[in-house]
Amino acid sequence: MSQESFVSQKQDAKESILKKLAFWATKRELLQDPNVLDIIKDITEDRNLGFWANQDPLEFMPSVDSNAGLKFMNYAKIFALIRNVLIFLPVAVTWKAVSEATTGFAEFVSVNSATPVNFLEFWQNGYGYLDDFWTIGFIAEVDFWIIILVIVITLVTNILQANGQKVNALMNEVLDQERVNLAIEIKKYFFMVKPSSVETVNNDVLLAIEKFNQGAREFNKISGNIENLSDYLLKAVPQVQSLQESMNKIAISNNADLEKVLSSFTSQVDSGVGQLNSTLNELKNNIGVINDLINESLSNSVSNMSQDIDNSNNAVKKSARKLESELESLSSQINITTANLKAKNED
């Protein structure tokens, strides 16, 4: 990534995070929160980015409490208060009725002492001394409907309370998720723009060097195998030259089979040498790629260099193994051809 492209990307990220922060703070009425004001100001002026990058956004971003569902819960409180009062109303009405019935019964007895009437009978009938409202039958019906009303209000209260809590919980989940999402965006932005510390650079450099050394060890190991095969090929050269001299001595025989074997040998050797040269060139190019990648990575981003070196190491290993395979194939071809030439020479 070029420097201009990276700067443009940082600027776009800066504008995006500022818009998200301002929108969230305005929507949730947090523009007066000191932490929100400080982070918006520092991002705008590109200050204290290292400090903010080391902080957990969820720790300094204010929490937002939802007011959703409070209306239902407030109504539930009112109904609960009314219910609590109505619970004692039947008792109060009943005792008031007892008081009125007792007073009336005392007057009735004083006037009609010879009449055999008990208190409950008097409370039910009144006999003109007790208002119909305070009779036991009517008071029992009033208490019944009061209790029914208490039951209905209790049900309504519980429904309102449950709905209010449910709406409030759902809204709080939305607010929390909104806050977490914004915190992640803030963390991503500061990770992009935070200044590189000495410790971070040192760790990245050490990691890159370790990977490069690992690749070098693998390359040296394969190079040893290639060197052994090369020595074998060099030792085979005198044998080939000796066979060539023998063939020159018997060339006058115009042996067609011998010419055929010699032609095949020459073709096989030429093919093996061509493949060997191609693989060596490929290996050389890959080594050059490693050098270019190291230089480029160190100048742009040390952290990216580790991945590049891994890729280059793999390419070197692949090319080196290919070279080793080609050398082994060429060695086998020389052995077979040498054996054939010896057999023909003896014949």
Q: What's the whole-number mean pLDDT along residues 231-252?
A: 56
Would you say residue 270 has pLDDT above 50?
A: yes
Asked whether residue 185 is domain-assigned, the answer is: no
Question: With 90 as the cut, is the pLDDT of residue 4 above it?
Answer: no
- Total number of residues shown for the chain: 347
Name the percent of the chain lying above pLDDT 90.
Answer: 38
Amino acid sitting at position 118: N
Residue 236 has pLDDT above 60, yes or no: no
Domains of the chain: total: 3
By the 8 A CB rule, do 28 and 67 touch? no
Burial of 45 (0-12, 13-18, 19+ CB in 10 A): exposed
- Same domain for 17 and 92? no
Note the pLDDT of residue 242. 62
With 70 as the cut, is the pLDDT of residue 105 above it? yes
Note the pLDDT of residue 233: 54
pTM score of the predicted model:
0.48
Residue 339 structural domain: 198-346
Q: What is the average pLDDT across 207-224?
A: 60
Name 123's Cβ contacts closer than 8 Å, sequence gap at least 6. 97, 101, 105, 130, 135, 136
Task: Kindly tell me if the per-residue pLDDT of 276 is higher than 60.
Answer: no
Residue 191 lies in a domain: no
Residue-wise pLDDT tens digits, 62-84: 988 888 889 999 999 999 999 99
Mark whether 173 and 265 lie in a shared domain.
Answer: no
One domain, residues 261 and 339? yes
Report the range out of 3-12, 141-150, 195-204 with the highest average pLDDT: 141-150
